Amino acid sequence: MTASTAHALVKSSCDNTFYPELCYSIITNHPEVTKRVKSQKDVIELAVKSQKMVAETLEELTEVEKDLEEYHTKKSLQQHANDLKTLMSSTDTDQETCHDGFSQGGASILWVRVFF
């Protein structure tokens, strides 16, 4: 499928959302859009996959925040530092993946509302 055909399919799918321009921009900026989008079902699957990644990143940030709150009560400094390094590394990786896939900086968080 050509890029223009994939983009046309994404546009027609996004036209039925609350935020069609945002939907179109996010999905068409995904690095694999021309490889993966061959039907409207593919557009939805790509959107759901991306939404899951955003949700995972938010969960990891919540864990970091929770660890920071529990620092003085439940963990040694070394345990706390190791856990935070792991969580932040995972969050950074997810964030970079989201950033690579979505060219609009803050739009990745807002896009969940496009479909759900």
What is the pTM for the complete model shown? 0.53
Can you give the pLDDT at residue 95? 62
> Could you tell me the residue ranges of all domains in the chain?
3-107
Can you give the pLDDT at residue 11? 92
Can you give the pLDDT at residue 113? 47
State how far the Cα of 101 lies from the Cα of 78, in Å rounded to an integer. 35
Q: Please list the pLDDT of the chain residue by residue as tens digits (116 residues).
A: 788 888 899 999 888 888 888 888 888 877 788 888 999 888 888 888 877 877 888 888 888 788 777 766 667 778 777 877 887 777 777 666 655 554 444 444 444 444 44
Per the listing, tokens 């899951």 go with 52
Find, among 56, 52, 60, the residue nearest to 89 by Cα: 60
Helices 3-14 and 20-28: crossing angle in degrees, nearest 10, is 150
